[in-house]
Amino acid sequence: MTNFTFVLKIVTEHITIKNEELILTNQRALYWPREDALILSDVHIGKTAHFRKHGIPMPDDVLQKDLERLKRLILHFDAKTLLIVGDLFHAERNSDIFTFKEWLTQFQELKLILIKGNHDRQSQLLMDDLNIEVVTNLVSGPFKFLHEPKDNDKEEFVISGHTHPGVLIRGKGKQKIKLPCYQITENQLILPAFSLFTGLNTGNNTEEADYYAFTNTAIFKI
């Protein structure tokens, strides 16, 4: 595995949903203290290797940076469970998956749960090899975890991913910037995509939602 260093600052925002404390971070994941669980979505391991396989040059360190951020978050919160809300993987088995397998060896006691996403087409044999529990949904406490958002059920609070939410912030004149965010409504929280190698979707934003956008050094409510 390639060795490299980069500056990483973990900034947090504490919120309460259904009487449960959740800690949002500017590093594209949230922590649920009561369950000692780090929760994230859309890691898309294998995406860069997939692009390279098809002749599109991609930097080698994209996955390395994602995994280094994930490592820092696990250690920062001393998380006991890693809950991935879909799209842990992106494509067929390739070299990135072997990189991930090697990375996992440093977390022997970490419990991994994957809510199966639309890109998670890997074999059960591989999931068993990586010691990942795979489910289609998970109900824990007051929350239901799904990959794709579901906003038509008022009886449960859904935590999901899939849409890669972002906000467009306009400055003076023609200045504007897109930032990733957490999108929260009365009955749903949509996580930002964890991987840095993903696009941002600002097309599903509504006035009924709260948005917590973030940068490398800050997190703030819009």
Tell me the C-alpha distance between 182 and 160, whole Å.
Answer: 10
Mean pLDDT of 167-177: 83
Whether residue 70 is predicted with pLDDT greater than 80 in this model: the reply is yes
pTM value surpassing 0.85: yes
User: What ranges do the domains of the chain cover?
Assistant: 12-221
| CATH number listed for the domain at residues 12-221 | 3.60.21
Q: How far is CA 130 from the centre of its chain?
A: 19
Question: Across the strands, what pairs with 16?
Answer: 21
State the pLDDT confidence band at 174, using cuts at 50, 70 and 90.
confident
Whether residue 2 is predicted with pLDDT greater than 50 in this model: the reply is no
Asked if residue 165 lies in contact with residue 201, where contact means CB atoms within 8 angstroms, the answer is yes
pLDDT for 150 equals 82
Nearest in space to 27 (alpha carbons), one of 211, 196, 198: 196
State the pLDDT confidence band at 52, using cuts at 50, 70 and 90.
low
pLDDT tens string 186-218: 999 999 999 987 778 888 788 889 999 999 999
Whether residue 61 is predicted with pLDDT greater than 80 in this model: the reply is no
More confident residue, 155 or 9: 9
Dihedral angle sign, alpha carbons of residues 111, 116, 119, 122: positive
Residue type, 99: T
